Amino acid sequence: MAFSLPALPFDRASLAPALSAESFDYHHGKHHKAYVDTANTLLADLPALGGKPLEDVIRAAAADPALGKLFNNAAQHWNHSLFWQSLSVPGSTKPSAAVTTLIDASFGGLDKFKTAFVAAAVGQFGSGWAWLVKDGDRLAIRTTGNAALPLVDGQLALAVCDVWEHAYYIDHRNARAAFVQAFVDSLLNWTTVESRLAGKVPSMDQG
């Protein structure tokens, strides 16, 4: 059993101009695929981990400094899989009443959430990820560098925005802030947030 590249949960041309079909050809078809392929190649030599769920592989690799390359590639498979689920056709989802109540309690309103999320994402130096997570009975924003992910800390990720340059360079060149602003304003898939908050958190690898 090997990990597999998930199909995009939307038409790859349907998020333009914020994210173009060409960007998905590279980001999903090349970058994400390479992480999956590399993880599978590494796992072929690690029979103790072969066949384990992606989440178990990530936790095991995070705990073993000798498995750093496996961690990076398996974690990037997980992160990108949630990233695709965190995107939606612009305007097609909105926060439910329950999620709105949580956003108000956690950030002081949707606009303040957006401002804080963009600031956090822009403030992540170098490659990484900006996350909306569950933090106790509230929501929180956090960022991680490179392949790091909240799963390793036992924290539930609700949505994520990729802030590696490869995520936005084709459509936004160097303007990370413009990309992240589009993410919170029109792309963020609130149905995914609500579903994961409700405890629907299947493995990120469906292979």
List residues near Mn ion by CB under 5 A: 162, 164, 167
CB of 39 to Mn ion, least distance (A): 14
In this complex, which beta carbon is closest to Mn ion, that of residue 31 or of residue 59? 31
Q: Closest separation between CB of residue 141 and Mn ion, Å?
A: 19
3-state helix, strand, coil in the chain (%, to 5): 55, 10, 35
Of the pair 162, 205, the CB lying nearest Mn ion is at 162
Q: Would you say the C-alpha torsion 88, 205, 55, 37 has a positive or negative sign?
A: negative
CB of 168 to Mn ion, least distance (A): 10
Query: What CA–CA distance (Å, rounded) separates 178 from 182?
Result: 6
Smallest gap from Cβ 74 to Mn ion, in A, equals 14
Taking the C-alpha atoms of residue 119 and residue 106, their distance in angstroms, rounded to an integer, is 16
* Residue 37 Cβ vs Mn ion, minimum distance, rounded to whole Å: 15
State the DSSP H helix or E strand holding residue 172, giving kind and residue range, or none if neither: helix 165-172
Instruction: Quote the CA–CA distance of 76 and 115 in Å, as a whole number.
Output: 26
Q: Which of 90, 79, 100 has the alpha carbon at shortest distance from 19?
A: 90
- Which CB, 164 or 190, lies closer to Mn ion? 164
- Is residue 186 within 8 Å of residue 90, measured between CB atoms? yes
Q: Which is nearer to Mn ion, 82 or 158 (CB)?
A: 82
Q: Single out the residue of 193, 118, 204 nearest to residue 163, CA to CA.
A: 118
Residue closer to Mn ion (CB basis): 27 or 114: 27
